[in-house]
Structure 1
């Protein structure tokens, strides 16, 4: 019997209930994984939120019906899970640039496939820039302090947050060239247009929180078991590494994700965002 990854199970459930009123809550319950990891899986592998993915799949089905059937627009809207023809028309025009009626009249086929496939660049990256078999380690609790900021799928502000953090004296932290990047998707907020806002921390390790500048945010990284991957090369390709971890490795590893935050640890001095010699270790919490 085929073993499905959490993402595959989520996608299968969505396809089977595409015309129902489902969202992140139902998908999380079906897979047995938390909001946090369902958010992480979808944003890392597919580059969009659960809500936007479901909406795009509904619109895909609707677009096919507009071209392949004579059903009324209202009936198609209801069949595809939209509350009204107005809501359907707004969503359809936002996605395809034309109303359902205009789309049908033109006989256009502008369908967007929401399931992202591996491209040759992904395959090369996996083969040359990722430690495909992670190191499994146990870590102690780690205190970190740094700068917290808000970013989103559509507006990446992470480089700006790192620039702010690097303005602080290195002497405040243990290990001058060691930094931590924590993507706090447990704090994720879904916007009406399907985007995801979440907080990110750029930080360094500290022995104690006492005597630190008030402008530094504090956080404790949980102790526990982690699968540690190494990413090499430009940080512009970090998303490819996360696609591999959540979309490929997790599927066959036989490991179960734990409901702690994953984080990144930078052990070399970062010269630039696009430096091909960059290296970062990615800690994925497992049970």
Structure 2
């Protein structure tokens, strides 16, 4: 079903027609699809079509009306209304801004090498503006090293930043981990890992002071973003899928840059319903 949707996004995709291609009634298809993906069929199709339209806005000079008609809308008004609902701005404003923001990618199923069949993942493409990280750094051996140690070293680095004078202020705030893959790694595949916070992304009424912390300048970058739901110990399987399976088929290439881990306030990494996101630097293939 997903393959059919992905291969026919330039055509009308009605729930009744999709149900006729499946083994389910319309009601059964809607129920199964939403149970498995968290989206209705119509919402999923709309997300992907509007994401294609957004990419076309940035990559070409087509009139907005032409894009509207091409992606299944009968007027520029209805297209603009749906576009603003998904992206928070009009098509014209999106084109003027010139940033890849909020582009939804097709849902993929995580295979048996990861967390088993039945887990569905959707990547989005976002451009994040430059920011400054305040925190501490250490060195780790990452996922693809012969002897990875990140599962031991990363928690230790987070303990260091929380032990700084003022570290208690981090409780209840969104946090960021940064893997710096810009420099050539040594023979042991070690690279810097930062644990900290982006002060510019915190409420103004909560000034933050971390005595002894260092700063890292993170440039503006386009990322592929995947959300991981579940214990943090399972994140490596998600990253393996992200890099080994999603990226080669995505139309993007990976970059040696700063990879981000975004943790919400009050994140509990051992919880089954824990949710965080991983940001992988990417660029469109030529």
Normalising by structure 2, report the TM-score.
0.49
